[in-house]
Structure 1
Amino acid sequence: MSLAGHLRELRSRLVKAIGALIVTTVVAGLFYKQLIDFVIAPLPGCTALEGGGPAGSGRCGVIATNGLLSPVTLALKVSLTAGLIGASPFWLYQLWRFLAPGLHRAEKKYTLAFLATGIPLFLAGAAFAYAVLPTTARVLISFTPDQATNILPVDDFLDLATRMVVIFGLSFELPLLLVMLNLAGILSAARMTGWWRHMILGITAFAAIATPSSDPLSMLALAGPITALYLVACAISWLNDRRRTRKNTADPSPDEPSPLPTLHEPDHVRPAGTRS
């Protein structure tokens, strides 16, 4: 295909992907209030007196929006985010259709396998982030002074929730990246297991930076699953290295020279006219 043909193909795929994104965003906009309620559900809002103390006793916060345009901006942001997630299977398929003609059959097989694994891993990380959001919100709000009331803008919490979902989702892709490097022959299982101390230290440091709260519970909630996935990636890489070793032993490389036959006959026994 010529360069112009590639550009036309790219334009066609982009138009279809953007069209699907617009449709899912419009559908999500019809239910934006329910989506906003779902997003802010982890926030401990001050809707009643808790423990006999005042509403602003530091154990909850007043959920609020700021300004006349803030609700409209919030509705657009939530609808666009939900539309992007809802249309992800379609625009990922369009990306695959654009890249597939330039891939070999084995590369197509590996790409489909990585997509089939990477999407559930990202969704698992996103669901895990939403599950720890209530604990994170309570820990952060607990630092509020007793004589103060914490005003919780919905926009700020939405940004925090989105950032946590993206960070947790991408961090759950670590084992997939390690397995890809192993399948490409760049990283061996022996080297991966030899780095286990540094990997656990790096995962713990990343969890401490990525989680917005300072409590060890949220840090361990992120570091624990990533460490477990890292060990699973080491096991898969070890099995792949064993398979590769057996294959190389059974089928030597065609570039490897074959051993020359050894002549056991003495020189005086060979027929005349033959070369040694």
Structure 2
Amino acid sequence: MPDDTENGAQETFISHLIELRSRLVKAAAVVLLVFLVLFAVWPGAATIYDIVARPMMWALPANAHMIATGVITPFLVPMKVTLLVAFVISLPWVLYQIWAFVAPGLYTHEKRLIAPLVISSSLLFILGVGFCYFFVFGKVFSFIYNFAPKSITVAPDIENYVDFVMTMCLAFGVTFEVPVVVIVLVRMNLVPIEKLRAIRPYVIVGAFIIAAVVTPPDIMSQLFLAVPMCLLYEIGLLLAPAFARATRAPEEETAPQQ
């Protein structure tokens, strides 16, 4: 009997690994497909990079250009940007694959919790990236260029620029996930909603510390990250109780109140 139990557990573990590999392959295949379409069909890696570089180019003088210091940098950097864009476009499918992997082990009421979180996580991440690109970059780059001494010729290196853009977009995308984190903490009974409200001052301080570490050393970009983080935390506090009620298990609804 112990051998049968051990063999069954081993087979279950192996089946989970096979299922995980299948989900990862499906997610990676779609990301790769979107990358190939963007790179080879439309609009092309060069065009995508030009779009990503647009906020910086708008802040520079009309005759200014970025520079590439590496031999293959003009080829590798647009490819890196295209891969990032492909991942963002494919994010809902990637998160769906994660949800499909864990769904068989969830109860019905827990499945009602996961699906909205997957959708909202995708939308919030894309919204954070869009906020960074359309609003933050324009303000920050203009501020940096106007602050630079007139004796300096501003000619950013494209590799450093892309690394900066990717870091900022990732930071804002993750920041916009704060309501989801708050909702999960409350719904899974990890932290009471009253406790999250009580630590609000520490969250505000933490938001400004994170913003100071992640963003460039200027007050404008720090405010652009810290203030939305605080506001999104408040939104999470408002939505968490309603979401917890909507995804409550039947036994939780019929349980006597203490």
**What residue is the counterpart of 1:55 in the other structure?**
none
Shift of 1:194: 1.6
The letter for the 1-side match of 2:104 is P
Shift of 1:240: 6.7
Q: Does 1:26 align with 2:32?
A: no
**What residue is the counterpart of 1:39 in the other structure?**
52
Q: Does 1:157 align with 2:161?
A: yes
Shift of 1:126: 0.9
TM-score, normalised by the number of residues in structure 1: 0.77
CA distance in 2, matches of 1:150, 1:5: 56
Q: Identify if the C-alpha distance between structure 1 residues 63 and 224 changes in structure 2 by more than 3 Å, giving closer, same or farther.
A: same
Contact 1:21/1:84 (<8 A) preserved: yes
Q: Identify if the C-alpha distance between structure 1 residues 45 and 241 changes in structure 2 by more than 3 Å, giving closer, same or farther.
A: closer
**What residue is the counterpart of 2:7 in the other structure?**
none
Among candidates 116, 134, 156, match of residue 138 of structure 2: 134
**What residue is the counterpart of 1:269 in the other structure?**
none
CA distance in 2, matches of 1:249, 1:76: 52
Write out per-residue CA displacement over residues 82-110 of structure 1, whole angstroms, 9 at most, x where no aligned residue: 22222222222222222211222122111
Q: Does 1:226 align with 2:236?
A: no
Among candidates 90, 94, 97, match of residue 87 of structure 1: 90
Aligned residues: 239
Write out per-residue CA displacement over residues 53-78 of structure 1, whole angstroms, 9 at most, x where no aligned residue: xxxxxxxx641222331111112212
Q: Identify if the C-alpha distance between structure 1 residues 193 and 74 changes in structure 2 by more than 3 Å, giving closer, same or farther.
A: same
CA distance in 1, matches of 2:238, 2:113: 18
CA distance in 2, matches of 1:128, 1:99: 31
Shift of 1:160: 0.6
**What residue is the counterpart of 2:8 in the other structure?**
none
Among candidates 193, 202, 205, match of residue 197 of structure 2: 193
The letter for the 2-side match of 1:41 is R
**What residue is the counterpart of 1:72 in the other structure?**
75
Write out per-residue CA displacement over residues 168-219 of structure 1, whole angstroms, 9 at most, x where no aligned residue: 11111122111211112222222222222222222222223222141x3322
CA distance in 2, matches of 1:146, 1:251: 71
Secondary structure (helix, strand or coil) at the match of 2:66 reads strand
**What residue is the counterpart of 1:3 in the other structure?**
13
The letter for the 1-side match of 2:48 is L
CA distance in 1, matches of 2:245, 2:118: 25
CA distance in 2, matches of 1:100, 1:65: 46
**What residue is the counterpart of 1:179 in the other structure?**
183
**What residue is the counterpart of 1:125 in the other structure?**
128
TM-score, normalised by the number of residues in structure 2: 0.82
* Bigger proportion of residues as helix: 2
Alignment of 1:46-65 (within 5 A): 46-48=61-63, 62-65=65-68
**What residue is the counterpart of 1:14 in the other structure?**
24
Calculate the aligned-residue CA RMSD, in Å.
2.6
The letter for the 2-side match of 1:73 is L
Q: Does 1:208 align with 2:212?
A: yes
CA distance in 1, matches of 2:214, 2:229: 13
CA distance in 1, matches of 2:211, 2:141: 17
| 89-98 or 231-240, which deviates more | 231-240
Q: Which runs of 5+ in 2 are unaligned?
A: 1-10
Q: Does 1:236 align with 2:239?
A: yes
The letter for the 2-side match of 1:25 is F
Q: Which runs of 5+ in 1 are unaligned?
A: 49-60, 257-276
Shift of 1:249: 10
CA distance in 2, matches of 1:45, 1:249: 60
The letter for the 2-side match of 1:124 is L
